Amino acid sequence: MESNLLYNESERLETQIQCLLETPTFINNIESNNEYLDSSNKDRVSSFKCQLRKNPLIDSDILRMFYGLHYSYTNKLIQKISISDDLKVLTTLSDFCYLDNYLIQDKKIVNSLAEKNEIIDFVALKNNQVIVYFTEFGLYSWNYAVNNVNTLLEMNRVQIRAMDVSLDSRYIAGGCCSGNIYIVDSIKAKLKVVFHSHKSKIYALSFTQDGKYLISGGGSFDNLPDYNIRIWNILRKSLMSILAGHALTVYKIRIHESGDFFLSLSRDNTIRLWNLKNIIKESVLTETQGLVIDRKHREYNFSSKMIEKQEKVKFKNTYLGALNILSDKDHNKLDPKYIAEILKTIKEKNEIERGDIESDYYFEAKGRLAPDIFFSKSFIYLFNPRDLLFEKFSINKFKKQKLQCMKINPLTNICFVADKNFAYVDKNQNLKIISIGTKKIIKDPLPGKSLTLIEISLQKKCFVISIFNDADTLCYTVSIWDIEKMQFIWHLNVGVILPFQVIISKDKNFLAISLYYSSINIYNINTKTLIKKITPLYLENYLIGFTDDSKNFIVYNESNPESYFSVWGTENFAFRFSQRSHNRVCKALINAEPKVYYFEKVDKKLKIQFGKKVNITKSKKYGVVAIGKFYNVFRLRDKFIISIK
């Protein structure tokens, strides 16, 4: 048939493709210990293709495993962030196993690490191009400049809950659920000491500016209640002081830049300001070197009048021993008398001031957020998770002032940067930076945050094609990456209809996309233009394919009861002919002179091969002879021609 009975003939298009709101590219960052680096490209491609499972989450992990490739923040949930003082580099922890460095000005990820074990916490070291992080199996340092991971400390399933790093990056502290505190010397890459004193979980750790002292706090209901704050001398490996007074878990400790004061935030709904300078000065009389258990472990016994007084209050409240079977809310209801008595009677002389916060800041918090505190030169800032806003306290009078204009909706922790800005990632995965002085908000959508990965496929043994749903534009997008050259090719918006099939010609000049029950679009990859749009007369899903010489484009319609295919020449994408395939021949024949092609449907795709003018079907029952623009099908048994096309 010379006429085109299946398609509306459309004009040739040369239109620039609509720009996407975001165009994330693959991040290429193969770990140095990747076993697939040693295999040949042919073997790697073959193994990669075999392991694809048509599951976007699994396939994205396979793609990262084989080629170190992944799409920015697509399909990632960010748990924690850290931001440099110059507001240029954002470091994120996603899905508890991915660390990424994002350049805010360039709007792209430049370094990425995939850890096979869950990352509990991390700290980005200042000016070192190094990130240190804990897993349950140890402490590691990642030098992202050379993409190298070193083991600083091996551990056997130790549950770290908090960590901090000294300002000079020399010492790294990790607090455990058991109450132990590990101090690691990063220069010598070995354990310096393990402090044994806390009787329950560690939630807060903070080094002083000079790195000589460490302040720790915590406490939980599942062990002996121990909510006291401890101050450690790192160089002397000693316990300098224990501060009593908090009646429930201490979650945050912040040290003033002067080193003279520190703050503690507790579940007992108080914020306390402490005189750190005096505590260190007076510790000459209270400091203890502890009992050396072995070369690295030390156990400390410490007593003071306030601790003894606190123990007497605990003794009167005998039900405290059963707190491990109570929930947080039940605990809060059962011990108001104990909390009130502790808050009233226990006050250390170096506790300068005390501020109250409302009790439902914890229980009515939005999602998994918790209150947080930050220290500036003159003010204390409290994040209120109930109302999602900041509150400001004067250090001198501890008088609260609400900052209604700074209402926020964070998904992650909040960073206090250079005494001037708050930074966080919101629930839509936008990076937001708030200037305290001007109240100006900078919003930066993270690349890939609006994209949901639908499918990954491999074409021509070198093209990785990914299909996404873009929530911002309510459209579908297609991304192409050449894994042979390790080169990003294109990311385009294909409209509101999901692609049914995406293919690339062998000469790499053309991209064809068949949309579900809709049109077929053909693009020029080199010029990034749409050059042909084929609109079928019938609402069907059409299989498409290019011949190996890239000179013909074939569209196959498997409608019932008849199956048709049509041929376009790729020189100017003019329609050539359309005809019905024969139902007795497993492979349809296209006699596009001077060459002959056979094609067949394989897994919802067209398999196209060069053919002979005379051929025999696999069953050996039929023969096919191409004559001019027609072909004859005959039965071999009696040489009877049963069809002429």
> What is residue 432's predicted lDDT score, i.e. its pLDDT?
93
Confirm whether 158-294+316-327 and 369-496 share one CATH topology: yes
pLDDT digits 0-9 by tens, 412-467: 889 998 888 999 998 888 899 998 878 888 888 888 878 888 999 998 888 999 99
CB 139 within 8 A of CB 131: no
Query: For residue 556, what pLDDT band results from cuts at 50, 70 and 90?
Result: confident
What is residue 571's three-state secondary structure?
coil
Architecture of the domain made up of 500-609: 7 Propeller (2.130)
Is 170 in contact with 183 (CB distance < 8 Å)? no
Average pLDDT over residues 498-513: 93
Pick the CATH number of 158-294+316-327 from 3.40.50.920, 2.60.120.10, 2.130.10.10, 3.40.50.10490: 2.130.10.10
Determine which of 203-212, 480-489, 576-585 has the lowest per-residue pLDDT on average. 576-585
pLDDT band at 22 (very low <50, low <70, confident <90, very high): very low
Cβ partners under 8 Å of residue 373, min gap 6: 252, 254, 263, 265, 271, 380, 381, 382, 383
State residue 20's pLDDT score.
46
The DSSP result for 235-257, as a single string, is: TTTEEEEEE----S-EEEEEE-T
Q: Across all residues in the chain, what is the average pLDDT?
A: 80
Q: How far apart are CA 287 and CA 559, in angstroms?
A: 87
Calpha distance 245→217 (Å, rounded): 12
Q: Are 90 and 101 in contact (CB under 8 A)?
A: yes
Predicted pLDDT of residue 358: 82
Tell me if 555 sits within 8 A of 547, measured CB to CB. Answer: no
User: CB of 600 within 8 A of CB of 581?
Assistant: no
With pLDDT > 90 as the criterion, what percentage of the chain qualifies? 32
Tokens 């008595």 correspond to what residue?
Answer: 341
Determine the Cα–Cα distance for residues 614 and 87; give it in Å rounded to an integer: 70
Place of tokens 């209640």: 225
Is the per-residue pLDDT at 472 higher than 90? no
* pTM, 2 dp: 0.75
Is the pLDDT at 498 greater than 50? The verdict is yes
- Answer CATH for 369-496 from 3.40.50.150, 1.10.10.10, 3.10.290.10, 2.130.10.10: 2.130.10.10
Q: Which amino acid is at 585?
A: V
The per-residue DSSP string of 381-424 comes to EEEETTTTEEEEEETTT--EEEEGGG---BSS--EEETTTEEEE
Q: What is the mean pLDDT of residues 91-99?
A: 91
pLDDT digits (tens, 9 = 90+) for 342-378: 888 899 999 998 888 887 777 655 555 788 999 888 8
> CA 144, CA 138: separation in Å to the nearest integer?
19
pLDDT given at position 140: 94
Q: Note the CATH number of domain 34-146.
A: 2.40.10.360
Q: Where are the domains of the chain?
A: 34-146, 158-294+316-327, 369-496, 500-609
Query: Is the per-residue pLDDT at 317 higher than 70?
Result: no
